Structure 1
Amino acid sequence: MDDKQTAHAMGIDDTYRVERTLARGQGGVTELVSIDGIGPFVRKKIPSQLAQRNVWAALSACTNPRLPHVEATYELPDHFVVVYDYVSGRPLEHVVQQQEKLPERTAAQLICQLCDAVTELHRHGIIHRDITPSNVIVADDGAHLVDFGIARTVAANATHDTKALGTYGFASPEQFGFAQTDARSDVYSLGRLLGYMLTGVYPDDKRYGQLLADPHVVPSQLKSVIDRACSFEPSARIQSADELRRAILGQPAQQNENIARPAIVNVAPQSARKRSKRKAIIIGAISAILIAALIAGMLVLGNVFKTGKQSTPNSSTTSSSHSNTSDAQQMGKNGTNDSNQFNGSANGQTTDGDSTDNTQSDTTENPLKITESGWSADSAGYIHYAVAVKNTSSTLQVEFPAISITGRAKDGSILFAEDNLRAVSFPKQTIYLIGQAGNGPGSETPESVEFSINQRGGTDIRQSHGVVT
């Protein structure tokens, strides 16, 4: 910027009166402002090197009333500045905390409104990536989606995002470095958000799976929709926000859903946005959040997410660069994907949401089954993997279960073989194993990686004396 441009920008900046500062951090400053007695508005000053100008340009073309209306953008010497309207209401997390959980009809109505907003975003090539209870404002006319701090536009031919960002419990697995985010990543977050509203607990709470599986808490039809929206593998999910809305309303999905640019939906008539000085908005304008830096930093080295095939009777999977997408889709149809969030901590575990099957005939055979798996290779000679293992028994626990990870070259020869050991797997529990394997610098990248249940004699299978609570 030359001196004249700088002086002009500073003149525009000075015309706004700061009412109060809403947020301040490395991602910039968010302020509540007015101009000549008109407002209030939200003004975000974003460091120039962090500004996603293309996102704000695309957002300014969006017309859905549940998205921020961009009033102005301008450049300062060290900052990109955006001014948008301010909606009066309460963050969804406060509403849920006050009511403990939301009625089915209310939750469905709010999530459908958000689906309309997200469909508009996707139509303009924007992926929000942070749809959480704190980023939804509940106003008199319904839900409004805010905080575009880590939003991005769709990048063609990219294998993964440049940074692993998102809010743990609501961010999709691919946001932790496995693959590029797309419209299905926001669908995952919307599914999690619906589960949160119906159960009243966050997805990383150990009670979440149990409450989600309780038909007295979550109707079976909505439980099925949430499971499909939150499948670990993107191809097994509901493919667009509009399809999710239709599923919630019990309407048939449109054919040939477009992932990158979902079909345009007719937004139901809603109250028009008022831009007078009495217009009020509450926006939690929070700077971009870096979640689980130590773990996501390791996973983000991955190249491309490679999906494991559906578990076979011998409880093993093979994952290669030519993985079979139809297997993952069939897994979603059969309902074998757990709705629980991919655990972002090493060797994390969670309780599966399935109800106890009292008719199961337990045997001494190992009841562990691999339900999902994925891996990516980095430039340092290692692979990073995640495996979901479910104890299918209702009464047996498995002590010291181990998963074997075997990397193979193109000719089928073994490049490396390692085990990931756990302490115990309880009945009906799904555990998530996350780790690193390989021979390090200078080693050959595997063509495929096999994941299998280790059947060694050191594994003890016995009647359980309790369940995970």
Structure 2
Amino acid sequence: MSIDDAYEVQRVLSSGPGGRTEIVTIDGIGPYLRKKIPLSLVDRRVWVALSECDNPRLPHVAATYETPDEFVVVLEFVPGDTVSEVVSAQGHLSAPDAVRTICEVCEAISDLHRKGIVHCDISPRNVLLAADGAHVIDLGIARPVGTEPSSEAPVLGTHGFAAPEQYGFARVDERTDVYAAARLLGFMLTGLELGDSYRNALADELKVPVPLRAVIERGSAFEPSARYQTMRDLSSTVSRAAGLGDSQSRFSQVAVGSPDSAYGRAAECKQSKEEAAACRSASVRTTKKRVRRLLAGVACAIALLCLGVLALSYLQSQATSRIADAIVDQVSGNPQAENTAPPSSSDLPESGGSFGQGPGASAASPTESTNALVVTESAWTNNEGYVQWIACVRNDGEKTVRSSKLQVAGRSGDGHVVSSTYQELRPIKPGEMIYFAGISDNGNNTESMDFSIRPSNDGRMQGGAESDLVLEVIDLSEVGSGYGSLRFAGEIALAGGDYIGIGNGVVLVTVVLRDEAGVLVGGVSTTLDQPAVNAPQTFDTLELPKVPYASVEAYAYEW
């Protein structure tokens, strides 16, 4: 009898072209989870890496073996209900449960990423809610970082949770799982998958506090470079958002682990009579302490009230002054309208293209408001249902702008907004220009694109001291594409200066295309690891639609 026959199948959980998943026992021991994957689809590196992970929220590999047609992995079984099942029964999860779940998912996936593996299918059916918290399961289509989808081994994932690059747009990496995790958070809070109803439910502040909605929208951005770059970034931002402003009171209404939460129901608490009596005694002592604290608080409040009356007139005058200053700044700001005219001759690169860290950078200076930033030129292309766009942002002020974002909105023929996205910008020095390219959805309904600058409350890209880093793009060339589109590849070299770790400490490369008149016609951005001294870093870009171009430029920025 073969090892495969030694297992007794208790229940078949799923079966399809991607494999078969079963609950099994062997010699009365178990249950275990057994997954059979066709040899043509398996990547053994995934299971080697998983067997080296000791995170309790990831599947534990008990055994692996092969049959003539399949790769088989046997995993320890974790009892619990999937997020899909819990949401189906409850309608949606409370904010505390959803936040706890997504943070635990991020913890598990971060360990997987450290082994160089992307899960590629974080979805409601692949996250279990067990007594000890969330568990990520089913690595059937997991792939090493950098894997590009192919017809032989498609990495499609679950519709509505799979990132766009899984459908052939680009290689998968950590940001692929960030996209799915953000979608999962939205699903848990709303109880709905992607669609018009989902968008409406996401705007319901009773279910989705505004800070969490902002996290979901950014985490699930179409363009990978616009998302949080790691699961750790997503988790820490979710944690901060859970305690912001008025949302804190909503989060504290149902404590995580209470009998009214999903985790409270999963982990039933049992107490003896002695334990219950001890709890009641502790409760009485706690109540007395709270009463004493309350009386002391009332006395303090009376004293503070007297001081508050004296300070009120001073604060009102100061507040009025600040509001007036803000209004003046807003009114005096230049409107940010799309400008398709080419830049001035001093801004244009020399004939044959220009490779470098971005034109016009000057010495360090104090912070200036975003009114100093202008969108000097932009272009966009509608390509099979999505829009690829590029814009140049220049600092016309005398000080560095540290906290800003590029807002991009697509509009229909009658002027209605049909898509909206944004990109956090790195600190921009006086005279410096930064090119950034991205992707928006709903291209079939887009007739025009608006590009504008907005203040940002996200400190991720603000940095500390200003960078004197000099990066050079070398050996840039157009490379072939199997999709009938444009694609570029090259290398980034460190030419001087020191890294200061702006944002995530990565490098952004933007390829810029112009026609014979020097007008911007297209472009694409990509991110990569920082090059080391005397060790250039290679890169290649996303696909972009073929547009007639006469010259190509490339710029690299510490991002």
Fold agreement, TM-score > 0.5: yes
In the TM superposition, residue 35 of structure 1 has moved relative to its aligned partner by 0.9
Q: Determine which of 176, 196, 219 is the counterpart of 2:209.
A: 219
Amino acid at match of 2:379: S
CA contact (8 A) 1:229 1:237 kept: yes
In the TM superposition, residue 234 of structure 1 has moved relative to its aligned partner by 1.8
In the TM superposition, residue 236 of structure 1 has moved relative to its aligned partner by 2.1
Q: Determine which of 145, 152, 170 is the counterpart of 1:154.
A: 145
In the TM superposition, residue 250 of structure 1 has moved relative to its aligned partner by 1.3
- Report which structure shows greater RCO (CA 8 Å, sep ≥6): 1
Deviations 1:12-43 (A, max 9, x none): 22321122322222223322210111101111
In the TM superposition, residue 317 of structure 1 has moved relative to its aligned partner by 4.0
Q: Determine which of 434, 439, 444 is the counterpart of 1:347.
A: 444
* Residue 201 of structure 1 pairs with residue 192 of structure 2: yes
Mapped to 2, the partners of 1:50 and 1:412 lie a distance apart of 49
Amino acid at match of 1:207: S
Deviations 1:226-275 (A, max 9, x none): 222122222222111112111111199xxxxxxxxxxxxxxxxx9xxxxx
Mapped to 1, the partners of 2:130 and 2:92 lie a distance apart of 18
Q: 1:346 to 1:235 in 2, by over 3 A?
A: closer
Give runs of aligned pairs for residues 160-175 of structure 1, distance below 5 A: 160-162=148-150, 163-175=154-166
Q: Determine which of 104, 126, 134 is the counterpart of 1:143.
A: 134
Amino acid at match of 1:35: I
Match of 1:230 in 2: 220
Q: 1:335 to 1:229 in 2, by over 3 A?
A: farther
Mapped to 1, the partners of 2:162 and 2:70 lie a distance apart of 28
Mapped to 2, the partners of 1:315 and 1:216 lie a distance apart of 38
Give runs of aligned pairs for residues 73-84 of structure 1, distance below 5 A: 73-84=64-75
Match of 2:450 in 1: 369
CA contact (8 A) 1:209 1:339 kept: no
CA contact (8 A) 1:381 1:445 kept: no
In the TM superposition, residue 167 of structure 1 has moved relative to its aligned partner by 2.0
CA contact (8 A) 2:38 2:70 kept: yes
In the TM superposition, residue 313 of structure 1 has moved relative to its aligned partner by 7.4
Deviations 1:64-103 (A, max 9, x none): 1111110001122222111001121112112112221211
Mapped to 1, the partners of 2:218 and 2:144 lie a distance apart of 25
Mapped to 1, the partners of 2:56 and 2:94 lie a distance apart of 24
Q: Determine which of 237, 245, 250 is the counterpart of 1:247.
A: 237
TM-score normalized with structure 1 length: 0.57
Q: 1:331 to 1:192 in 2, by over 3 A?
A: farther
Amino acid at match of 2:82: P
Q: Identical aligned pairs, as a percentage? A: 42
Q: 1:152 to 1:68 in 2, by over 3 A?
A: same
Q: Determine which of 371, 379, 389 is the counterpart of 1:316.
A: 379
Mapped to 2, the partners of 1:332 and 1:33 lie a distance apart of 55
CA contact (8 A) 2:80 2:130 kept: yes
CA contact (8 A) 1:230 1:339 kept: no
Q: Determine which of 79, 83, 89 is the counterpart of 1:88.
A: 79
In the TM superposition, residue 134 of structure 1 has moved relative to its aligned partner by 1.3
Amino acid at match of 1:231: A
Mapped to 1, the partners of 2:544 and 2:229 lie a distance apart of 30
Amino acid at match of 1:17: E
Amino acid at match of 2:240: G
- CA-based RMSD: 4.3
Q: Secondary structure at the match of 1:29?
A: strand
Match of 1:53 in 2: 44
CA contact (8 A) 2:223 2:440 kept: no
Mapped to 2, the partners of 1:242 and 1:175 lie a distance apart of 21
The structure richer in helix per residue is 2
In the TM superposition, residue 381 of structure 1 has moved relative to its aligned partner by 4.4
Mapped to 2, the partners of 1:209 and 1:448 lie a distance apart of 39
* Residue 210 of structure 1 pairs with residue 291 of structure 2: no
Where does the alignment leave 5 or more consecutive residues of structure 2 unmatched?
243-262, 264-372, 383-387, 395-401, 410-419, 423-438, 453-478, 488-511, 523-542, 554-559
Mapped to 1, the partners of 2:391 and 2:451 lie a distance apart of 16
Mapped to 2, the partners of 1:216 and 1:51 lie a distance apart of 43
In the TM superposition, residue 104 of structure 1 has moved relative to its aligned partner by 0.8
Q: Determine which of 102, 106, 116 is the counterpart of 2:107.
A: 116
In the TM superposition, residue 369 of structure 1 has moved relative to its aligned partner by 2.3
In the TM superposition, residue 318 of structure 1 has moved relative to its aligned partner by 8.1
Deviations 1:369-398 (A, max 9, x none): 269xxxx974474569xxxxxxxxxxxxxx
Q: 1:383 to 1:43 in 2, by over 3 A?
A: same
TM-score normalized with structure 2 length: 0.48
Q: Determine which of 118, 123, 128 is the counterpart of 1:127.
A: 118
Q: Determine which of 50, 53, 57 is the counterpart of 1:66.
A: 57
Q: 1:73 to 1:408 in 2, by over 3 A?
A: same
Give runs of aligned pairs for residues 313-462 of structure 1, distance below 5 A: 316-317=379-380, 333=405, 336=408, 338=420, 347=444, 368-369=449-450, 378-379=481-482, 381-382=484-485, 411=516
Larger Rg: 2
Deviations 1:270-297 (A, max 9, x none): 9xxxxxxxxxxxxxxxxxxxxxxxxxxx
CA contact (8 A) 2:161 2:184 kept: yes
